[in-house]
Structure 1
């Protein structure tokens, strides 16, 4: 067993025996060696809070003042700042200023997981401050991994800044810049199950994101979080993360139980209602996955194919009901309107979908995708001029030649052809042809249009 693992085992034993002071020192040693160890950082914070509680929330300035001076003198030695602030937080874990200092030092070192942990802890301490939210948005915008998921998180935190201080022009400008950054990412026409999977697998904080990759690791993390919950029984975030992990290993009943418990502690967290709704949709999604596995073994089995179709219809109907509820409860949340619009698009509720996308298109992060859907919907109605106008709006801002741009050009060319503008349609299809000759049926469409133009 390596030294790091040995230290972790020692720390866990100290926690179980309630020797929290020794556990604190052990976790601090671990973090001195690896500041990016989010698991140990999470455990240390729980221990620090327990020690503070045992000390009746009294903080000794005799212990914190010298460390605070050293932090100030550390200059740009970011590793030293992280280490010193960790020592100070051992005495004063609710010191939001030091958490922010530690997070900013981690940002300089590109330790984004550590930075997010620190800023999130500061956010919990000061829920009415916009600075932790701003820094969370910045950290997620820089974080490695799935760029679109991370940017969505960045946008969400930036939006929370605006919600806290709607008259703050700087917060509004910052939020718009995050919206614009997300809008510039490549378009993907996501399937509902993929979007829900993204939410399901990325909703908990850094601990589950970075450390949990298998069911075994998830169960280990659950046990650790349950210990944390004993130390902080009124912390709804810990219980919510337990629910996230149960959802990850598809234990729906346990996940619902945890979410319900977290909601009772913090009824203001309506995102838990969303997660509980997602569980029911995912229940069907997971069943579909099981049946599709059976189909691979019997690819010609008509009964299995029929079962999949029945389940997909059931999931779609449940999704519509769930997102209708979300739109009704949160009428200003354009993300739910956008998702409901996609569901209506799939079932050809054209006018209802148009209404939703017209609203969601006013928000920068949904604008390009919403306009693309609007173009397709207007074309479906036979309003080709309106469709072409929507596609042109999207094409003005698209850079490069990704899937979104090819799809938009293809749809525009199709609308041009159907409106009788054969020459323009041919020219538009040819823009795709010179970049990707195998895209859909562009070669055939170009040849067909040549004949129409001649005749």
Structure 2
């Protein structure tokens, strides 16, 4: 009888999955979510269904258009639900917490706190695969979020998918080339990929494992690769090995990147750039290679600047810094020409124009970069700053209000936006409006910029006007 009930439950879960999948394909996301929720409630380990549920939650969330008030209300409800889930988790009711997490993610599957809690619950309830694709899904929809990518990389390592872990750490290292922790994790992943390949090759061969264990040279190489910084004879050995790998597999870009990292670590920047330029000949349309080349050249400038400062040559250091800044500007301009649809590059170029006071040029770039979900709010903020510098206060306010409506939580970015709205209102003489904006920031963070001073001044102005 128990076996029959199990079979019936499995069949019911499959039926809910099939119906949910069909509803998703028709674009009926709410119905699909209800059906898939019933599916995973019956069968918590049905990974495919949970993955489909996550995709549906994200599709529904992206399709919805909510007002600022609705978003605030949703945020309050989500906070209450997170407290409820935390209570269930503390009480050891992990399966119930897992179900409630799906309801929470149906509200906002990309909110960082929702994602973190869902991951914690999935781990506690013995569903690591659910934790992994929750983070994966969030990252896929925020591909520039390095924190999410880091979580993805760490999960790949935890579940033993070392190839994917290595690829994720490669991308992290390209964005954060000076982060030694990431570099160490990358080397560890690469070493594990190498070891796994060796064991696979040995599988099925009598006594082949003895050759692997006895291969002390290979063990030494893996030990060297795992070091955060490799120098001296160790570096020379790994560099020679990396060059040999490139000769054997000239189309494997990961080998070029690994060699360039080793060379950069040892301050052989010109050689590192040459290697990356060779990689670009293999794939000329890889913007990450361009980023790596830029980062390497900037590192070379920084080393020279530090050396000049250490030698007491302040004037030489200043000249070199000017040269570096010019390079950064020219390089960004050139990359925007090569990748005109890369909105992150548009944003970065806009920041360069803004930095040097070319506000019209900056506006042009920010108006393009605001189309990117990742850069949208920052682009709107800096658009507002450009208009403010040009004396076009009404245009600045319009950009900031648009940004404010799209920020449901009083995080650092929202504080910056609301604070700027307050400043513009104060400059326009609208004391009550300024007070309202300042009060919101003050209530969230009393130490933000000079908000305390401004609040005191506004209070006095209001009192004098009322008196």
Tell me the TM-score normalized by structure 1.
Answer: 0.52
CA pair 254-446 structure 1, distance change in 2 beyond 3 A: same
CA distance in 2 between counterparts of 1:249 and 1:201 reads: 15
Query: Is 1:245 aligned to residue 262 of structure 2?
Result: yes
The CA deviation at 1:319 is 1.0
CA distance in 2 between counterparts of 1:76 and 1:212 reads: 40
Q: Which residue of the partner structure matches residue 138 of structure 1?
A: 136
Query: Is 1:440 aligned to residue 418 of structure 2?
Result: no
CA distance in 1 between counterparts of 2:148 and 2:279 reads: 26
The CA deviation at 1:337 is 0.8
CA pair 76-277 structure 1, distance change in 2 beyond 3 A: same
The CA deviation at 1:247 is 2.6
Q: Which residue of the partner structure matches residue 344 of structure 2?
A: 335
Query: Is 1:214 aligned to residue 218 of structure 2?
Result: no
Q: Which residue of the partner structure matches residue 36 of structure 2?
A: none
The CA deviation at 1:324 is 0.7
Query: Is 1:428 aligned to residue 406 of structure 2?
Result: no
Q: Give SS of 2:375's match.
A: helix
Q: Which residue of the partner structure matches residue 123 of structure 2?
A: none
Q: Is the 8 A contact 1:201 1:248 kept in 2?
A: no
Query: Is 1:345 aligned to residue 354 of structure 2?
Result: yes
Q: Deviations over 1:48-73 (max 9, x none)?
A: xxxxxxxxxxxxxxxxxxxxxxxxxx
Q: Is the 8 A contact 1:406 1:432 kept in 2?
A: yes
Q: Is the 8 A contact 2:350 2:362 kept in 1?
A: yes
Within a 5 Å distance, the mapping from 1:370-409 to structure 2 comes to 370-409=379-418
The CA deviation at 1:285 is 2.6
Taking only aligned residues, the RMSD between alpha carbons, in angstroms, comes to 4.2
CA pair 251-319 structure 1, distance change in 2 beyond 3 A: same
Within a 5 Å distance, the mapping from 1:34-53 to structure 2 comes to none
The CA deviation at 1:400 is 3.4
CA pair 196-318 structure 1, distance change in 2 beyond 3 A: farther
2:146 corresponds, among 149, 155, 161, to 149
CA distance in 2 between counterparts of 1:220 and 1:141 reads: 36
Q: Which residue of the partner structure matches residue 176 of structure 2?
A: 198
1:256 corresponds, among 273, 279, 287, to 273
CA distance in 1 between counterparts of 2:350 and 2:174 reads: 15
Q: Which runs of 5+ in 1 are unaligned?
A: 1-74, 78-107, 116-134, 156-194, 296-300
State the structure with bigger RCO (CA 8 A, min sep 6), 1 or 2. Answer: 1
1:360 corresponds, among 366, 369, 377, to 369
Q: Deviations over 1:95-142 (max 9, x none)?
A: xxxxxxxxxxxxx85699xx9xxxxxxxxxxxxxxxxxxx9x938939
State the number of aligned residues.
Answer: 281
Q: Is the 8 A contact 2:384 2:396 kept in 1?
A: yes
CA pair 111-206 structure 1, distance change in 2 beyond 3 A: farther
The CA deviation at 1:375 is 1.5
Tell me the TM-score normalized by structure 2.
Answer: 0.51
CA pair 247-283 structure 1, distance change in 2 beyond 3 A: same
Q: Give SS of 2:448's match.
A: coil
Q: Is the 8 A contact 1:360 1:370 kept in 2?
A: yes
Q: Which runs of 5+ in 2 are unaligned?
A: 1-44, 48-126, 153-172, 190-225
Q: Is the 8 A contact 1:243 1:256 kept in 2?
A: yes
CA distance in 2 between counterparts of 1:201 and 1:448 reads: 43
CA distance in 2 between counterparts of 1:111 and 1:247 reads: 38
Q: Give SS of 2:267's match.
A: coil
1:272 corresponds, among 286, 289, 292, to 289
CA distance in 2 between counterparts of 1:440 and 1:268 reads: 42
CA distance in 1 between counterparts of 2:151 and 2:259 reads: 23
Q: Is the 8 A contact 2:229 2:265 kept in 1?
A: no
Q: Is the 8 A contact 1:208 1:245 kept in 2?
A: no
Q: Deviations over 1:130-184 (max 9, x none)?
A: xxxxx9x938939xxx9932557999xxxxxxxxxxxxxxxxxxxxxxxxxxxxx
CA distance in 1 between counterparts of 2:284 and 2:139 reads: 29
CA distance in 1 between counterparts of 2:344 and 2:386 reads: 19
Q: Which residue of the partner structure matches residue 304 of structure 2?
A: 287
The CA deviation at 1:353 is 0.4
